[in-house]
Amino acid sequence: MKNKLCKHLIIMKMIVVLLLITVGQIQAEGLAQTVNIRKKNSPITDIFREIKKQTGYTILSKSEVIKNTPSVDVNFDNMELNRALNALLKPLALTYVIDGKSIVIKTASTETANSHKQTTSFSDAASVQNDIRGRVTDHQGKALSGVLVAVKGKKTSTATDDNGNYHIAAERGSTLTFSILGYEKKELEVNSSTINVSLQFVEADLEEVIVTGYGTFKKSDYTGSASTIKTDRMKDIPAVDFSTMLQGNAPGVQVNSLSGQPGGSTSIRIRGMGSINAANNPLYVIDGVPVMSGNIASSGSNNAGFDVMSTLNNSDIEQITVIKDAAAASLYGSRAAGGVILITTKSGKAGKPVFSIRGDYGISSQATDFREVMSGPERRAMLLEGLRNKARYTDKLTDETKIEEYAQANIDKYAPEPWSGWADWKKELFRSQAPFKNVDFSASGGDSKLSYYNSLSYMNQKGLSYQSDFERLSGRLNVKYKMTDKMEVGANILYSNVAQDVNAEGGTYTSPIYATRHKITGSEPVYNEDGSFFTDFFSNGPRNPMAASMYNFRTEKANRSFNTLFANYKFIDGLVFNTTFSLDHTTTKYNSWADPRSSDGEKQNGSLTSSFKEYNQIVWKNSLTYTKTFADKHNLDILGGYEVNKYTREDLDGAKENFPSVDKIVISNGSVLKDLSGSTNEWRLLSYLSRANYNYDNKYFLGASIRADGSSRLHRNSRWGNFWSLSGAWRLSNEDFMQSLKPVVSDAKLRVSYGTNGTLPSASNNYFTYMDLTGFGYPYGGNPGIRETQIGNPYLKWEKQNNLNIGMDLRLLNRIDFTFEWYNRQSSDLLNDMPTSYTTGFSSYLTNIGALRNTGIEVDISADILRDKALSWTTSLNLGMNKNKTISLADGSSELRNGTLIHRVGQPWYSYYLVEFAGINKETGAPQYYVNDPNNLGSREITEDDTKANRIAYKSVDPKLTGGFTNTFRYKFIDLNFTWTYTLGGNSYDYGASKTELAGKTGYDNIPKYYERRWQKPGDETDIEMFMVGNSYDMSSVANTRRVHSTDHIRLKNLTFGVAVPQEFARRLKVSNIRAYCSGVNLLTFAAYKNYDPEVPVDGSVYFESPKLKTVTFGLDIKF
């Protein structure tokens, strides 16, 4: 790892140097631009205008400097700009200086200019032009760049530089105006040569922008439902992927992870589940291009999964937009039934180059307790009690002396103290503090023609176990160039190299989670006295998890290259053609090594499994957009488009055993071939789409869209699906009758949308499900063989989803924003398995049956509590309430049973089906259950025989209420922001209890901490049974309601505290900003149930997965 890190650091240094050279060259090329001007007897101002037109530089000058200049003849034939300026100005005794994107013309000699001041044509002393200088700052005293400074009533203007400084020629007594988006406009009379200004922040001016991928709209003009998340506030959060930014910041969005290992697969649901077998995750769109998403782990033995979104650097993200309804999602057709998440990456802005270096270091630990077990001495004491109970209740001994003698005589069979002292396996297999490291470098800038954003990032996040690690090196280049007034081209390029090491999870005997929480006890040492690994475990056989931790590995490596090229051509004002071509190429390689020195590979003398996957997704988009305003009130926006998507995936898997050495672990060195297989998967999607938006006088808004998708995954007779939407809004705050309420109701809008989306069979699990398929690779008698692998269904069609959304947006007192949403989302023609006769060789086939409905409300409230010059405070609260209901099932059934779940019409899809736990018998300490006789439903008869108890439909997984609460404080150079997330009304099911609810039956396994509240004597009231060795009432085999636990919790999801160096000191250091900060995630958790983390997988099942991480980092951010 050290060599790898050195290699990466060398690469980073080389790239940084190249970036610096590139940016420097770009800036130098500003004045290296050429001009082509041929004019005779022209005023110098005409030459200046032509230079601005060709180069983008604005030329500024005092009027007296150029007032008496004669007309000039110029012949600049592709001459460099600096040479042209020298040739033009030098004969006129003038010179120039560069100030950002402006060229300031001055007299060649300052002394001469000062001693020969020219007056204007008014011949009035009061009209003498003065050189006015000053600095513009915000309410906190920070410099504001790009502020427009203008002389009121004149055409003279300039802009502040990066340090907020400006200078402008103005007459004494005239008025200067200072304006910039997001701040109050200020006017000041010119009464001195120095005028410093402080502008007050006005959030209402910074109107939120909704980016839809097919257009950008002001929120006030948008007719659909969307949440926009600015990443500035969360840029310091130590997180591997961007999903952490979504939690608590967008109502109706749930984020669930399968594992707490870094880079693990993440599930995101928007407004509940809308499909049974097809995809429920949203469509991800990066800079307008739909991309691959989800788990791309090369092998199923990577229990944690590998989320392709972890290849992105969070610092490159400018904005995240979550589209929830059909108004915009319908334009994405078949892939948008689960909503759309649009990610906009950063771009350069006109002005001087801005360099940023940010680095942070921190540590991670467990966010919550996870299946904590008793220590060695505690376990021994518990087993002594269990042996006493065995003697007392099973063997019927009554003499307490004999009972104690029996317990002491047998205790060392179950809980001896090992030769090395009590073992702490958690300490041996897990880090108490896992390091986190992150370094970001970026450079951005541009001028009126060219903009660029470059970044380079390195991240390393260690997991809790010594086998868990995540390392990423990524780079990005976003560039846009305006070739002419009509033509613009650009590119967005991402390269990411990721290495993920994972430990085994689930029920693997050498998994550090499973072993320490169930199989390995404090009575079993790590090593024998001779230093060899201990292999004589009570219930884990010869499997020593420390040997597996030291010698085995599971490593996933990924290389992703996501490249997008685009061009825009403006035929006439308002008519723009866009073409975008993108290639998303990702390769993953997974190696799983079972070392011969561990129990996993001992019999095979080493075993290596290698898996390779190559993903390619090509997207080619073409669209024509026309925008026009008629008669100042009629605003029209029309788009027509055509898209082609092609996806391919190739797999190759192999496994070999019997290796001659553990020093060269490559698959060619294995001598016994155990497996060699491969596969390909390919699909195409052809789409036609159109959208039209109209608004009248910014009061009445109408929108419509339609998209036709043709997919290779369906039969030609049902290949095409049409998806459409209609939407409208009324901005009643712009009506005349509302004007008297403007001081209170600053803005108000009502909106409604209705539309359809569709869903296809899963690309990864269902390969051309409309076909009858046969497969090769089934040898028979040593000869090639084939067999039927799938029953086709030529009538298979798209899943459909109808989405109605009604919303209201309010802004009150120009401080408080309120958004309310109500939605009804119904999915029909769901893709589900239909049972069929076994005579076909199959148990079922895929068809369109069943329907689901999600209804709910969402509320989002934000407010500017304080907007003082020194102190500001903004707060926001959001909540989402979703109700899922099963409308119909396969074959007209009213319910389907699936293990511990039941799918019943009228109930949520994820509803539990369990034996009802009736508590602990207060006299005997044995568990009890309700019989729930289906022929006598009103009876509450109780039994201790679980085989006589009937299962019932119980609680559901889905929470009733989710949301977040965010606050941001700024006091001078200090900032603080934090987000609390909460979930109420949801439940989880503890599958791990099937291993741990033994109550001492075997006496050999670990004992959960919750047995501390066990029944101990008659009359005790508790929910935990008596602990007794050899008992006959253990609950490990009974799927019962005691295993259902509330997921209610409130969590301090993230917090950042920063301190910036005062601007005066930063300027002395030749930098624009220095800021130190401390940031963290999952810092505090208050949960109703504390045995495992309340953020559970989407189906509510909890087994032996890695717990979530709590991370705290300290960092430094420098801009110059």
DSSP string computed for 916-934: PEEEE-TTT--EEEE---T
* Residue among 86, 90, 110 nearest 98 (CA): 86
The identity of residue 255, as a single letter, is V
| Location of each CATH 2.60.40.1120 domain in the chain | 127-201
Q: Are strands 186-189 and 175-179 parallel, antiparallel or unpaired?
A: antiparallel
Q: 298 with 678: CB under 8 angstroms? A: no
Using CA atoms, how far apart are residues 263 and 722, in angstroms rounded to an integer?
36
The identity of residue 678, as a single letter, is G
Q: 293 with 281: CB under 8 angstroms? A: yes
Segments of the chain scoring below 50 in pLDDT: 1-2, 4-31, 110-127, 203-206, 765-766
Using CA atoms, how far apart are residues 930 and 1038, in angstroms rounded to an integer?
13
Using CA atoms, how far apart are residues 220 and 232, in angstroms rounded to an integer?
22
> Residue 94 forms beta bridges with which residues?
107
* pLDDT tens string 3-35: 544 444 444 444 434 444 343 443 444 445 777
Q: Say which residues have a Cβ less than 8 Å from residue 654's Cβ, sequence separation at least 6.
A: 609, 610, 667, 673, 675, 676, 677
Return the residue matching tokens 């032009």.
129
DSSP label of 983: E
CATH class of 32-116: alpha beta
Q: 925 with 1021: CB under 8 angstroms? A: no
C-alpha triplet 216, 217, 220: angle, nearest 5°: 165
Q: Say which residues have a Cβ less than 8 Å from residue 226's Cβ, sequence separation at least 6.
A: 210, 212, 321, 322, 323, 324, 328
What's the pLDDT score for residue 21? 38
The identity of residue 528, as a single letter, is N
C-alpha triplet 206, 211, 216: angle, nearest 5°: 80
Chain centroid to Cα 935, Å, comes to 50
Reduced to 3 states, what is the DSSP secondary structure of residue 1026? coil
* Residue among 198, 259, 154, 240 nearest 512 (CA): 259
CATH class of 127-201: mainly beta
Q: What is the per-residue DSSP string for 1053-1082?
A: EEEEEEEEPPHHHHHHTT-SEEEEEEEEEE
Q: 818 with 809: CB under 8 angstroms? A: yes
Q: 643 with 619: CB under 8 angstroms? A: yes
Q: Say which residues have a Cβ less than 8 Å from residue 462's Cβ, sequence separation at least 6.
A: 262, 364, 431, 434, 435, 436, 468, 469, 470
| Location of each CATH 2.40.170.20 domain in the chain | 243-347+429-510+552-910+957-997+1035-1119
- What H or E segment, with its residue span, contains residue 83? helix 81-89
Q: What is the 3-state secondary structure (H, E, C) of 599-623?
A: CCCCCCCCEEEEEEEEEEEEEEEEE
- Does the domain at 243-347+429-510+552-910+957-997+1035-1119 match CATH 2.40.170.20? Answer given as yes
Q: 357 with 454: CB under 8 angstroms? A: no
Question: How many CA atoms lie within 13 Å of 246's alpha carbon, on the beta-carbon side?
Answer: 25
Q: 322 with 341: CB under 8 angstroms? A: yes
- What H or E segment, with its residue span, contains residue 70? none
Return the residue matching tokens 């290992």.
261
* Residue among 619, 786, 776, 764 nearest 682 (CA): 764
Give the other-Cβ count within 10 Å of 178's Cβ.
23
* pLDDT tens string 915-947: 999 999 999 999 999 999 998 888 899 999 999
Using CA atoms, how far apart are residues 175 and 440, in angstroms rounded to an integer?
44
Q: What share of the chain is helix, strand, coil (3-state, %, to 5)?
A: 15, 45, 35
Alpha helix stretches (DSSP H) within 486-632: 512-514, 545-551
Reduced to 3 states, what is the DSSP secondary structure of residue 876? strand
Share of the chain above pLDDT 90, in %: 58
CA distances from 627 to 572, 694, 695, 736 (A): 10, 10, 12, 27
Alpha helix stretches (DSSP H) within 891-1032: 993-996
| Location of each CATH 3.55.50.30 domain in the chain | 32-116
What's the pLDDT score for residue 334? 74
Both ends of the chain: CA-CA distance in Å?
33
C-alpha triplet 540, 543, 549: angle, nearest 5°: 125
Using CA atoms, how far apart are residues 199 and 869, in angstroms rounded to an integer?
9
Using CA atoms, how far apart are residues 136 and 86, in angstroms rounded to an integer?
32
What's the pLDDT score for residue 860? 96
Tell how many helices (H) and how many strands (E) occur in the chain.
Answer: 14, 57
Using CA atoms, how far apart are residues 913 and 891, in angstroms rounded to an integer?
21
Residue 98 dihedral angles phi and psi, to the nearest 5°: -95, 130
Residue 404 dihedral angles phi and psi, to the nearest 5°: -70, -40
Please classify residue 674 by burial: count the beta carbons closer than 10 Å to its beta carbon, then call 0-12 exposed, 13-18 middle and 19+ buried: middle
Q: What is the per-residue DSSP string for 670-690?
A: -SEEEEEEEEEEEEEEEEEEE
Strands (E), 658-784: 672-696, 700-711, 720-730, 745-759, 773-775
Using CA atoms, how far apart are residues 105 and 98, in angstroms rounded to an integer?
9
Using CA atoms, how far apart are residues 375 and 370, in angstroms rounded to an integer?
15
* Residue among 757, 746, 878, 858 nearest 807 (CA): 858
